[in-house]
C-alpha cells in the first residue's frame, strides 16, 4: 500500500468511526427509526405516484438513501424519490410499456450518470439561470398534478381521458359513481395526517395515518382496493440488475429532466441545512452523492431519486446528529420489507392516495405564487405559462421548456437592462448626466454604457446612442468600454456603423478599453481600421488616465478641425 492509499484508508476509517460515537448514536438511532418507518408508506406512495410498481418506490427509497449517505457533503441530505421526480417519471411512456421495470431502472442509472457529470464538472452554477418564476410555476404545476393523479384511487371511480385534467373533468361529470367506502377511507386518512402532525406523533403522522386508515378497512368490512390487489411485496430484498442498453437513447431526455429537477431540489437542501459543525456542504459533492444514490437505486431495481427536502427535514427534526441516521433508516426499511411484507400488502389504496394528496396540496405555495405575481407582468406570465404547460404536457418536456423559458427570460432581461450615460470632465472631476438625443456640433461627447453588451443588447445600445444628424459636425464621441471582457461581432458591427455615420457628418468616434481581448476583437473585426488606430485607447490600472488623454486629444482635434 503506497502513501496515498494509506492516507485515503485512514481518512475513510476515521469517517466511519465518527458514525459510531456513543454521544450521537442514540439520537441517530431514534431519528433513523422515525425516518425508516415514515419512508415505507412514502416509498409506496412514490411508486404509486410515478405509475409504476410501488415496490420500486420502496427500493428506490431504501437503496438511494443508502448509496448517497456515504458520499454527500451534506450530513443530513436524505436522497429519496421526490414528488416532482415521481411526477416526471409518470409521464415517461417507456417505463409503462414492454419491460417497464427494466426501463425504469435504466432511467434511474442514466439520471445518476447525469448528476455525476454535473458534480464532477461543478456545473452547479447553471442552476442560477433558472428563474424563480419558472420554478414556482413548475413546482405548483407538479403539486396540482399530484392531487389530480390520485383522484381515481381516492374516489374509487376509474376516470378516463388523455391527461389528468381530462380525467378530472370525467370524474366531475360522474359524481354518483364515486365509491363511498373508498372516499371515506381517503378522507379519514387526510384527517388523521392533519390531526396527528399536531401531536407528539408529528414526525410519524404519515405512517400512523396510513396504517390507521388501512386498519379501518377490515374492521368495517368494507370492500376497498388494497396494495396487494396490484402487487405483492416480495419477502426479501432485490438483487442487482443490469440496465437495458437498448432503451438508453429514448431515456436520455427524461434522465436530463429528472437530474435537473433533483439537482434544483437538492441545492435547496445544501443551502438550508448546514452540517453539525456549522459549515455548509459543497453543492457539487452533493450532486455526486445524488448521482451515486441513483446508480445504487437503479442497480437494485429502484426508481430515480434525488435530495428530498421533506425527508431531510424529518430526519433533522427527529434529532439526527450524523449521517448514521440514514444508514439506520435504510436498515429499518429493509427489516420492514423482509419481515412485514405481508402486512404492507394490506395497505389501503385510498389511504396512500390521501397521503399523496396532502403532499400535493402542500407542494403548491400560495405565498410564493403571490410574490412572483406582484413582481411584474413578465414574471407572472412566465410563472403562469410554466404552470399551465406542466399540467398539460408530459413533465419531462415541461422541465426542459421551463429551462428554455428561464434562458429566454434571462436574455430578455439582460438585453434590456442597459443604460448609457454621458460623462462630463472638468477641473472638478467627472460628472454623470443623461446623454443628448443628438450629437451636438463641435463638442466632445463621452459615453459610458452600463449593463450587458452581448449580442441581444446591441440593438438596444444602438438606440441609446445620440443620433447623428446633419448638424452633428466637427464633434467627437468617445465610448468608454472599461470592464468589458467580450464584445462579440454584433456589437462591433454596431460600433463600425456608428463610426461611419459620424465620419459622414465630418465627426469621429473614439474607443477606450482596458481589456486586451476586447482590443483584439476591435482589430480583427475591422473596427480599429474604421475608426483609426490612433483613436483606440488602451487604459491601465489608473482610472481616468486614458479617458483624460482621449478627451484632450478630442478637444485638440475639434479645435484644429474648426480652424
* pLDDT tens, position by position, 179-192: 999 999 999 999 99
Predicted structure pTM score = 0.70
Read off the pLDDT band of 390 (50, 70, 90): confident
- Average pLDDT over the chain, rounded to an integer: 85
424-473 pLDDT, tens digit per residue, is 877 776 788 999 999 999 999 999 998 877 777 888 888 899 999 989 89
Read off the pLDDT band of 11 (50, 70, 90): low
> Could you give phi then psi for residue 311, rounded to 5 degrees?
-65, -40
DSSP H stretches of helix in 245-348: 248-272, 283-299, 309-317, 324-339, 341-344
- Given a cut of 70, whether residue 22 has pLDDT beyond it is no
Question: What is the side-by-side order of every strand in the sheet holding 429-433?
Answer: 429-433, 418-426, 444-451, 476-480, 508-513, 536-538
Alpha carbon 383 to chain centroid, angstroms:
14
- Three-class DSSP labels, 495-536: HHHHHHHHHHCCCEEEEEECCHHHHHHHHHCCHHHHHCHHHE
Q: Is 20 exposed, middle or buried (0-12, 13-18, 19+ CB in 10 A)?
A: exposed
For residues 292 and 537, give the distance between their C-alpha atoms in angstroms, rounded to a whole number. Answer: 53
Q: Where in the chain is the domain with CATH 3.30.750.24?
A: 418-562
For residues 489 and 34, give the distance between their C-alpha atoms in angstroms, rounded to a whole number. Answer: 60
- Given a cut of 70, whether residue 87 has pLDDT beyond it is yes
Between CA 57 and CA 153, with CA 259 as vertex, the angle to 5 degrees is: 35
pLDDT at 415: 66
For residues 207 and 331, give the distance between their C-alpha atoms in angstroms, rounded to a whole number. Answer: 17
- Given a cut of 90, whether residue 114 has pLDDT beyond it is yes
More confident residue, 230 or 472: 472
- Mean pLDDT, range 132-139, rounded to an integer: 82
- Mean pLDDT, range 271-282, rounded to an integer: 83
* Cell digits of residue 390: 406542466
Q: Which fold has domain 418-562?
A: Transcription Regulator spoIIAA (3.30.750)
Q: Parallel, antiparallel, or unpaired for β 444-451 and 536-538?
A: unpaired
- Mean pLDDT, range 252-266, rounded to an integer: 88
- Mean pLDDT, range 471-483, rounded to an integer: 90
For residues 172 and 249, give the distance between their C-alpha atoms in angstroms, rounded to a whole number. Answer: 39
Residue 418 backbone class (left: φ over 0; alpha: ψ -120 to 50; beta: rest): beta
Read off the pLDDT band of 14 (50, 70, 90): low
- Mean pLDDT, range 153-173, rounded to an integer: 88
Among residues 461, 481, 501, which one has the least CA distance to residue 550? 481
Read off the pLDDT band of 392 (50, 70, 90): confident
Q: Could you tell me the CA-to-CA distances from 272 to 28, 134, 179, 278 in Å, in that order?
A: 20, 21, 43, 11
Read off the pLDDT band of 18 (50, 70, 90): low
Q: Could you tell me the CA-to-CA distances from 541 to 478, 482, 544, 545, 549 in Å, in that order?
A: 19, 10, 9, 9, 14
- Mean pLDDT, range 466-483, rounded to an integer: 91
Residues 6+ apart with CB under 8 A from 438: 466, 467, 468, 469, 471, 472
- Given a cut of 60, whether residue 148 has pLDDT beyond it is yes
Amino acid at each position: 500500500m503506497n502513501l496515498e492509499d494509506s492516507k485515503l484508508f485512514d481518512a475513510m476509517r476515521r469517517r466511519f468511526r465518527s458514525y459510531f460515537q456513543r454521544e450521537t448514536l442514540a439520537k441517530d438511532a431514534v431519528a433513523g427509526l422515525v425516518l425508516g418507518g415514515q419512508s415505507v408508506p412514502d416509498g409506496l406512495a412514490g411508486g404509486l405516484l410515478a405509475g409504476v410498481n410501488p415496490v420500486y418506490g420502496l427500493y428506490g427509497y431504501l437503496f438511494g438513501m443508502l448509496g448517497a449517505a456515504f458520499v454527500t457533503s451534506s450530513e443530513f441530505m436524505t436522497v429519496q424519490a421526490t414528488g416532482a421526480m415521481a411526477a416526471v417519471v409518470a409521464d415517461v411512456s417507456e417505463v409503462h410499456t414492454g419491460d417497464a421495470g427494466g426501463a425504469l431502472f435504466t432511467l434511474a442509472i442514466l439520471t445518476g450518470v447525469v448528476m455525476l457529470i454535473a458534480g464532477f464538472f461543478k456545473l452547479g452554477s447553471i442552476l442560477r439561470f433558472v428563474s424563480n418564476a419558472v420554478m414556482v410555476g413548475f413546482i405548483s404545476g407538479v403539486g396540482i398534478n399530484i392531487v389530480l393523479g390520485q383522484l381515481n384511487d381516492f374516489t374509487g371511480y376509474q376516470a378516463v381521458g388523455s391527461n389528468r385534467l381530462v380525467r378530472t373533468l370525467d370524474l366531475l361529470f360522474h359524481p354518483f359513481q364515486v365509491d363511498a367506502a373508498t372516499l371515506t377511507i381517503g378522507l379519514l386518512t387526510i384527517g388523521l395526517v392533519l390531526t396527528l402532525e399536531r401531536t407528539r406523533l408529528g414526525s410519524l403522522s404519515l405512517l400512523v395515518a396510513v396504517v390507521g386508515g388501512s386498519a379501518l378497512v377490515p374492521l368495517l368490512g368494507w370492500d376497498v382496493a388494497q396494495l396487494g390487489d396490484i402487487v405483492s411485496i416480495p419477502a426479501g430484498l432485490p438483487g442487482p440488475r443490469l440496465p437495458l442498453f437498448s432503451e438508453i437513447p429514448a431515456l436520455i431526455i427524461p434522465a436530463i429532466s429528472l437530474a435537473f429537477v433533483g439537482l434544483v431540489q437538492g441545492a435547496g437542501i445544501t443551502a438550508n441545512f448546514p452540517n453539525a459543525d456549522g459549515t455548509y456542504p459543497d453543492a457539487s459533492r452533493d450532486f455526486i452523492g445524488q448521482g451515486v444514490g441513483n446508480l445504487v437505486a437503479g442497480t437494485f431495481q429502484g426508481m430515480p431519486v434525488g435530495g428530498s427536502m421533506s425527508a431531510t427535514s424529518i430526519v433533522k427534526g427527529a434529532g439526527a446528529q450524523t449521517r448514521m441516521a440514514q444508514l439506520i433508516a435504510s436498515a429499518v426499511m429493509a427489516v420492514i420489507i423482509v419481515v412485514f411484507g405481508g402486512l404492507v400488502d394490506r395497505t389501503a389504496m385510498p389511504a396512500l392516495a390521501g397521503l399523496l394528496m396532502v403532499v400535493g396540496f402542500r407542494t403548491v405555495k400560495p405565498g410564493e405564487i403571490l410574490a412572483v405575481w406582484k413582481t411584474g407582468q413578465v414574471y407572472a406570465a412566465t410563472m403562469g405559462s410554466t404552470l399551465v404547460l406542466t399540467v398539460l404536457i408530459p413533465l419531462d418536456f415541461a422541465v426542459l421548456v421551463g429551462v428554455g423559458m428561464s434562458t429566454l427570460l434571462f436574455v430578455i432581461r439582460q438585453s434590456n437592462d442597459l443604460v448609457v450615460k454621458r460623462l462630463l470632465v472638468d477641473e472638478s472631476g467627472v460628472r454623470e448626466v443623461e446623454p443628448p438625443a443628438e450629437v451636438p456640433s463641435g463638442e466632445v461627447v463621452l459615453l459610458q454604457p452600463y449593463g450587458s453588451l452581448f449580442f441581444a443588447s446591441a440593438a438596444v445600445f444602438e438606440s441609446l446612442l445620440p443620433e447623428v444628424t446633419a448638424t452633428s459636425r466637427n464633434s467627437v464621441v468617445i465610448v468608454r468600454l472599461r470592464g468589458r471582457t467580450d464584445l462579440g461581432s454584433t456589437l462591433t458591427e454596431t460600433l463600425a456603423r456608428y463610426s461611419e455615420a459620424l465620419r459622414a457628418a465630418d465627426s469621429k468616434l473614439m474607443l477606450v478599453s482596458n481589456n486586451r481581448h476586447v482590443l483584439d476583437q476591435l482589430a480583427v473585426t475591422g473596427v480599429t481600421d474604421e475608426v483609426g488606430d490612433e483613436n483606440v485607447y488602451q487604459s491601465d490600472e489608473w482610472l481616468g488616465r486614458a479617458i483624460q488623454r482621449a478627451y484632450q486629444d478630442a478637444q485638440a482635434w475639434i479645435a484644429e478641425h474648426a480652424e
